[in-house]
Amino acid sequence: MDIKTKITLDMLTTDSVSVLKQQYITVDGTDIKVGENVRNAYMNTQTERELLKSELPEEFYNAVIAVWGDTPTIAEPAEVI
């Protein structure tokens, strides 16, 4: 029994994306959802682009970057001292 992960890119704009991950198993030809939904939001900053690249399969990352373009549109948040 293999667990498959379904990834959905939601609310994709030039500044952000929401990524929904759901896990399924197939029993007798029917997909059954297991576990809880995992949703993460990413802003179009350099740091979150790198994080997104490490957390998503290449084809999903490329789809986001096709909308986001070559350069970040959001400045990195200021560090809190």
Domain ranges of the chain: 3-68
Residues 35-81: tens digit of each pLDDT: 999 999 999 999 999 999 999 999 999 999 999 999 999 998 877 77
Q: Is 32 within 8 Å of 25 (Cβ atoms)? A: yes
CA distances from 15 to 24, 55, 71, 74, 75 (A): 30, 18, 11, 7, 11
Give residue 17's Cα distance to chain centre. 7
Residue 57: phi and psi, rounded to 5, are: -60, 155
Question: pTM of the full predicted structure?
Answer: 0.85
**What is the model's pLDDT at position 77?**
80
What b/e readout covers 19-42, taking b as 16+ CB neighbours within 10 angstroms?
A: bebbebeeeeeeeeeeeeeeeeeb
Average pLDDT over residues 28-40: 93
**What is the model's pLDDT at position 45?**
96
